[in-house]
Chain A
Amino acid sequence: MQPVNVQPSDGSGSAVLAEHSTTSRLATIKTLLQPVLGKLAVPAVWALVLVMIPLSRLFSSYFPSWSLVSNTITLGLFLTVISFGQGLVILSGGIDLSVPSVIAVAAFFTGSLASSGWATIPAAICGVAIGSLIGLVNGLIIARSTFPPFIVTLAVSTIGSALLLGISAGKPGQTAPSGLSSLFDGSLSIAGIPFSAVLLLLAILVGSWIQFRTRLGRRTYAIGNSPQAAVYAGVRVRITLVMVYWLAAIGYGIAGVLLMGYGSGSDLNLGATWLLPSIAVVVVGGSSIAGGNGNYLGTVGAALLITIIGIDINAVGLSQGFKQALYGAVIFIALVLGRLGRGRE
């Protein structure tokens, strides 16, 4: 009896297993491909970047020029680095409103440590580490609770900004150490390529590597798609979320240090204007604002696109208010396009 009983069950079992594995492999390939290649958004955004460079002629007779391209690369670098963090958080199904305070904290401590005699690189590392504490706290709270990320990040960053205001009382402005300012004054170049372009390439490589090649990146996709399913699939959701918010804040902190070098100094409002564009760029780059779907290359393209548009608006001389309203409108249009894209599929 026993061998007869075992054989069919064994055979059918392995058949079911094989069938299951092929379908699941197909499914995993599909789910892996969809965010990476599936959307037209990435090529469309990069095409728009290329089109916008000659089109900026419409905004100013001095454009297009080499200075437009180099300014786009330099200013786009900051947005690329910031939106890496924002993109990762949005990918995980959250949203991060702590961008401005992390930038300000990282820049302030870099400047104040450097001015108290530290070498530039340790000061910058320490500044970024202190700023990233905000992200760490965000991540710990969001991972342990069911609170909405937008209000947690807002509350934590309000505390962070207030503490910074208290600590910096009387001396809010900091001058950048000379090592940082020299990054952007054109004195540094590698094989004839300006240093900001090198940094941009580095940011793209590291960002894509983290999002596509590391376990953390893949787990972030899984959590954004469905936290419940991620739990069943054995993803350690809490640790991953803490890492996502922490890593994001490290990105903002690095951007804060770079911004300080670009402006040769910092004040407490250094990061105030970067929150909006960071969200706009992620959505325009084809990521779903609900999470689970996104591509850093699209985000980078959108960062360059938004930067060119910002430069054009400044060249025309429109006010800050118009710029802000335009960012809002861009987010809205991207939302509608994303919705239409999903509807057609």
Chain B
Amino acid sequence: MKPRQSRRALSDNSKATVGIAAGIFVLLYLLLTLVSPISATSFIINNFIVLTTPLAFAASGVTLVLLIGGFDLSVAGSISLSNVIAATTMAAHPHSSWGIACLVLVMGAVIGLVNGVCVAVFGLPALGVTLSTNFILAGIALAVLPAPGGSVPAAFASVLSGTIGGTIPVALLALVGFSLLWLLFIKSRTGMSALAIGGDVKAARLSGIAVRRVQIVVYALAGLCYAAAGLYFSALTATGSPTSGSSFLLTAFAAAALGFVSFRGGRGSAIGAIFGAATLTVIPKFLFAWGIADFWVGAFQGLVILVALTIPWLTTKIAGLRKRDGEEVTVGSGPTQSISAMAETA
């Protein structure tokens, strides 16, 4: 009875935050269509979804690791490396681009696995490990492709950034499919364990959860997400750049924050992070529509991140208040009654 109850409470909580994240995005996009009506055309909408997808995957990976109370800075290096490898090898073997894409995904998972083993088995600090793997991966990317170049076959790029029958964007299908996979994952034993670890590692270990195994799986899945982000970024730009991932470090965490993912573990959803990524992609469009110079986008993104950081903090505060109220009603009814009775007798 009890675990089911807590499970429902968890999913209710994440449903609400995902709803708010989605609401913010939809509101902003509707406002954008008022500022520039062209944004409502299906062509622009498809472009927008394609533009959001790499960040959405990156933010989902970051969210996975944040859920278990860790930090993963290897997101930037992983995206750079998968972009560079896709752009160089696909150019050389254009007919096996889908096979190469699969290999890149496997590579991403292996990188995540290494991170996970270092953190979970060797007990190294997550920030330090992922910082060093980030630099190593970025360095390898720079060694493989010292200057922007390479290319992605049009056949590969056009499938990922195109539409099915001219109406349904493939990127949207990818995101919806990914969200369904996420729901399956978070309802699974490993997913529930990940949430428990993020909530309280010691309690999770004491209640018999294989903490190390779950941590390793989560880091590996995060690596898979970064590789997917890198592949989608390759399809989007149709070229390779050794520093392509560096801008994702800030934005991926910002998208997670805008998706109401807690930075202290145990709370959050990749679906929220996807909407966070969409919100973060809408904002520069506003600046562009208003004719604000390009370089202010950076300043604005930084500001948005600082504001976004306060959102999870505010929600936990509000949720905490609400929770305390709820406890008083159900559990605390006895003592409060007796206190009020005492007051009456006095």
Contacts and interface: CB of A to CB of B under 8 A. Distances in A.
B290 interface: no
B329 interface: no
Contacts of B123: 339
A170 to B, nearest CB: 11
Nearest to A154: B250
A332 B253 CA distance: 23
Interface stretch (B36-44, B104-112, B174-182, B297-305): B297-305
B138 interface: yes
Nearest to B304: A155
17 contacts: A154-B253, A155-B302, A156-B306, A157-B302, A158-B305, A159-B303, A162-B295, A162-B297, A166-B299, A320-B142, A324-B139, A328-B133, A328-B134, A328-B137, A329-B136, A331-B131, A332-B118
Nearest to A148: B263
Main secondary structure of the interface of A (DSSP, over half): helix
A23 to B, nearest CB: 28
Contacts of B254: 155
Interface in B272-316: 293, 295-303, 305-306, 309-310, 313
Nearest to A326: B139
Interface stretch (A47-55, A119-127, A139-147, A212-220): A139-147
B125 A289 contact: yes
A335 B306 CA distance: 30
B146 interface: yes
Contacts of B128: 283, 289, 331, 335
Interface string A150-180: 1110111111011101100100000000000
Interface residues of A, number: 42
Contact of B313 (A145, A155, A162): A145
B125 A321 contact: no
B305 A155 contact: yes
A159 B298 contact: yes
B131 A321 contact: no
A268 B15 CA distance: 44
A293 to B, nearest CB: 12
A279 B131 CA distance: 9
Identify the interface centre among A147, A151, A154, A156: most chain B CB within 10 Å of its CB.
A151
Contacts of A147: 263, 309, 313
A-B pairs with the 4 shortest C-beta distances? A325-B139, A321-B142, A328-B135, A162-B298
Given A148-B263, A329-B132, 10 more contacts: A146-B264, A151-B250, A151-B309, A154-B249, A165-B298, A320-B142, A321-B142, A324-B138, A328-B134, A328-B139
